[in-house]
């Protein structure tokens, strides 16, 4: 078994604590994605698993082995970085085989392992080239190949696609998913891109300010977020949030012309504030007088309508974009009550 377990892990730089008591179980062969905004501690946590940062307290296990104090080189992990960190004077095959060569592996074995990685990553045509003669995507594939030839038990990726253009990112995302299927090793993948997280992960760990906000399968986090932060982070465009007030067992939304919502969730006391969340695709617009259509972004198959309510609240609605509404029009805003997510206004926890 080569899952990864973090138990009460804490990281402090001097007095500043950046990782707060993280507990996490990543199963053998699982594709686990750490996602969260910049500075939330994704790289730090990954580097702690790699052994590139020491762990202030708590334990890290890889399989049954406590590796908390073990050297990076002895942990059986290989890491792929955003900057490919290839040796410019070496060819693709020399780059991929270098780690094994340094560790004194026989030439025949290195050749075999490089050939296998090259086959998996479709690099056969580039083996004699130097990195400067490769595209960004090809360079990143070499960096991944270098990890593969080491035969690690756990692959660690820190934003490997961030330097690539949008189209190539999509291609490489598919490649990485395929790689995981083929190799079946445990992988931990760091990204701030929620689309990468949703599409690649078996399990997503949403981090915020060094704490785990929620762990779950992609669609679990999407359909059943524990709090406003996760609800807003997972899904693109993000969930809309408006203020509501509890009145007579219902929620009243002033921004939507005092629209009343009937709900089965456990609401706080009469007169208390709640936050109401609505996904952009669960709202319909039509001619009316609730909000103003400020801007329509047409993406092709869909459009994002940016609405502004009389009190200034802003809402994004996903539409097909083919109706007669024009920018500047006043619109109605309709949705089914059961599509609403409700959050406590004070601690932002989901009310269920």
Ligand X SMILES: Nc1ncnc2c1ncn2[C@@H]1O[C@H](COP(=O)(O)OP(=O)(O)OP(=O)(O)O)[C@@H](O)[C@H]1O
Task: By CB under 6 A, name the one of 2, 43, 140, 186 that touches ligand X.
Answer: 43
Which span sits near Mg ion by CB under 5 A: 35-43, 49-57, 129-137, 273-281? 35-43
Give the shortest CB-42-to-Mg ion separation in angstroms. Answer: 5
- Give, as ranges, the residues between 277 and 336 that touch ligand X (CB under 6 A): none
Residue nearest to Mg ion (CB): 43
Partner touching 299 among ligand X, Mg ion, none, CB below 5 to 8 Å by kind: none
Site for ligand X in 170-209 (CB under 6 A): 192
Q: Which does 301 bind (CB under 5 to 8 A by kind): ligand X, Mg ion, none?
A: none
83 contacts ligand X (rule: CB under 6 A): no
The pair of structure tokens assigned to 273 is 């504030």
Mask for 37-56, x = binds Mg ion (CB under 5 A): ------x-------------
* DSSP per-residue string spanning 285-320: EEEEEEEEEEEEEE-SS-EEEEEE-TTS-EEEEEE-
Give a three-class secondary structure readout of 75-143.
CCEEEECCCCCCCCCCCHHHHHHHHHHHCCCCHHHHHHHHHHHHHHHCCHHHCCCCHHHCCHHHHHHHH
Tell whether residue 40 is a contact of ligand X (CB under 6 A). yes
Residue from the set 5, 7, 17, 18 that interacts with ligand X by CB under 6 A: 18
From Mg ion, ligand X, none, which one binds at residue 13 (CB under 5 to 8 Å depending on kind)? ligand X
Residue with tokens 């785990």: 212
Counting residues that bind ligand X (by CB under 6 A) gives: 12
Contact by Cβ (8 Å): 291, 307: yes
Q: Dmax of the chain from CA atoms?
A: 78
- Among residues 231, 338, 326, 341, the alpha carbon closest in space to that of 285 is found at 326
User: Is 42 among the residues that bind ligand X (CB under 6 A)?
Assistant: yes
Q: How deeply is 313 buried, as exposed, middle or buried, from its count of CB atoms within 10 A (0-12, 13-18, 19+)?
A: middle
Residues that bind ligand X (CB under 6 A): 13, 16, 18, 36, 38-44, 192
Residues that bind Mg ion (CB under 5 A): 43
């Amino acid at each position: 078994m080569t899952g990864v377990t973090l138990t009460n892990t804490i990281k402090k730089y001097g007095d500043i604590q950046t990782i707060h008591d993280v507990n996490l179980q990543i199963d053998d062969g699982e594709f686990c994605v750490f996602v969260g905004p910049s500075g939330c501690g994704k790289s730090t946590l990954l580097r702690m698993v790699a052994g590139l940062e020491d762990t202030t307290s708590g334990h890290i296990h890889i399989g049954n082995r406590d590796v908390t104090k073990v050297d990076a080189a002895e942990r059986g992990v290989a890491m792929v970085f955003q900057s490919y960190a290839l040796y410019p004077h070496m060819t693709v095959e020399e780059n991929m085989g270098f780690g094994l060569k340094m560790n004194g592996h026989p030439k025949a074995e290195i050749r075999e392992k490089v050939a296998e990685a090259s086959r998996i990553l479709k690099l056969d045509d580039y083996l004699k080239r130097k990195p400067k003669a490769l595209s960004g995507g090809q360079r990143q594939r070499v960096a991944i190949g270098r990890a593969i030839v080491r035969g690690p038990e756990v692959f660690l990726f820190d934003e490997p696609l961030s330097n690539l253009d949008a189209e190539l990112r999509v291609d490489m995302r598919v490649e990485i998913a395929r790689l995981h299927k083929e190799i079946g090793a445990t992988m931990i993948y760091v990204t701030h891109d929620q689309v990468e997280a949703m599409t690649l992960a078996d399990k997503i760990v949403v981090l915020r300010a060094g704490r785990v906000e929620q762990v779950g399968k992609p669609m679990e986090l999407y359909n059943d977020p524990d709090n406003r932060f996760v609800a807003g982070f997972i899904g693109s465009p993000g969930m809309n949030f408006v203020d509501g007030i509890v009145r007579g067992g219902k929620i009243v939304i002033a921004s939507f012309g005092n629209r009343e919502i009937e709900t089965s969730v456990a609401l706080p006391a009469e007169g208390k504030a709640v936050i109401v969340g609505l996904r952009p695709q669960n709202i319909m617009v039509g001619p009316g007088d609730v909000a103003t259509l400020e801007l329509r972004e047409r993406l092709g198959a869909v459009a994002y309508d940016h609405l502004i309510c009389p009190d200034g609240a802003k809402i994004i609605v996903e539409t097909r974009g083919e109706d007669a509404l024009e920018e500047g029009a006043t619109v109605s805003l309709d949705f089914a009550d059961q599509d609403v997510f409700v959050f406590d206004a004070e601690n932002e926890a989901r009310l269920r």
